Amino acid sequence: MHELTVVSHFSSAHNLRGYDGACENLHGHNWKVEASVTAERLDKLGMALDFKVLKGALMKIVDGLDHRYLNEVPPFDKENATAENISRHIFTVLSKALNDGNIKVSGVRVWESETASALYSE
């Protein structure tokens, strides 16, 4: 089994609805996103998936979150934009774009700071 990982970043603001603490106030993060895929087979060039394809698919999602107030961006207009929910959202959208008979998104880790992250996988 081969596993590939790419990293991207985005900056955004949000506030946590219903949270009793400082994070209920408007604040921002410089998010780091790590997206990984697995593949059992390599193509004739010896690649599981071109890193450019993986990075491009991730960037398409991240670009929709960058420099935005996440509470106004679906699905975060209805659920809190926590690291957990953001990682699940990116995983779901990325899986629809990339999963096939060989490639499977294996996990998305979202860092909200240098010391705190959430991983979503299935």
pLDDT in tens, 22-52: 999 999 999 999 999 999 999 999 999 999 9
Q: Domain with 54 in it: what CATH number?
A: 3.30.479.10
Q: What is the pLDDT of residue 34?
A: 99
Q: What angle do CA 14, 122, 9 make, to 5 degrees?
A: 35
Residue numbers of the domain that contains 96: 2-120
Q: What is the pLDDT of residue 23?
A: 93
- Looking at the 3D structure of the chain, how many domains does it have? 1
Distance between CA atoms of residues 7 and 97, nearest Å: 17
Distance between CA atoms of residues 122 and 109, nearest Å: 12
Question: Token pair of 79, please?
Answer: 């659920």
Give the predicted TM-score (pTM) of the model.
0.96
CB atoms within 10 A of CB 43: 11
- Could you tell me if 33 and 7 are in contact, meaning their C-beta atoms sit under 8 angstroms apart? yes
Q: What is the pLDDT of residue 29?
A: 97
Q: What is the pLDDT of residue 77?
A: 98
The CA R_g of the chain, rounded to the nearest whole Å, is: 15
Q: What is the pLDDT of residue 43?
A: 96
Question: Token pair of 20, please?
Answer: 């009793």
List of the chain residues with pLDDT < 70: none
